Amino acid sequence: MSEEQGPTEWVFGEPIGVGPWVGEPPRDPRYDPVLLAEGDRRNVVDAYRYWRREAVVADLDRRRHDFHVAIENFGHDHNIGTVVRTANAFAARAVHIVGRRRWNRRGAMVTDRYQHVHHHPEVADLLAFAAAQDLAVVGVDNTPGSTPIERTPLPPRCVLVFGAEGPGLTEEARAGADLLVSIAQFGSTRSINAGVAAGIVMHSWVRDHADLDTAW
């Protein structure tokens, strides 16, 4: 079995993807000979079927958007995998994990193989990275002083920062943000799942800035 298509890329139930290539195999170096011979059951869009992993990453690098996503991981947050998977779907430039290096990759559904993921030990390290890259820091939290994202255009070049499930952003992250936004809620709960919040805000950036004609 190709290392491209290791056991973690298989899915339960009916297999997805395509079987072995039929006919004369392509000579394009982006294609993996083992995938061509055995089939491609990975969780990738059809445009990347049979491609080598590094070829997929290279093409994604050409398509990635100018927003980054950061999530604080000071308590082994189980939402990080979901955030990584969603960041991959919206072609975020990179995901930054602040705090604990280890995180549960199960929710990422192997998308971390195609998404750049960086680690910063402290919030100060993330803020220094953002300053060096000229990225606006956008904190996402339902706290006093936040403006509704529904009425707030997001900067074209930014890092969207999310706190851990429960406590939200740390005080250091709030203080270091150039902009604080909240998500309008209308029910009884005081907060929504951090992974869901990340998806809402990433999609807000896409609506503001992405070229929708390039979506799959």
Residue spans of the domains in the chain: they are: 3-61, 64-214
Is the pLDDT score of 12 beyond 70? no
**Distance spanning both ends of the chain, measured CA to CA:** 28
Q: 137, 188 in Cβ contact below 8 A? A: no
Task: Render pLDDT for 58-82 as a digit per residue (tens, 0 to 9).
Answer: 999 999 999 999 999 876 667 899 9
The pTM for the full model equals 0.90
Q: What is the CATH number of domain 64-214?
A: 3.40.1280.10
What is the pLDDT confidence band of residue 34, given thresholds at 50, 70 and 90? very high
The single residue listed with the structure tokens 């904190």 is 139
- Mean of the per-residue pLDDT values of the chain: 91
What is the pLDDT confidence band of residue 8, given thresholds at 50, 70 and 90? very low
| Inter-CA distances, 159 with 17, 34, 58, 147, Å | 33, 38, 22, 17
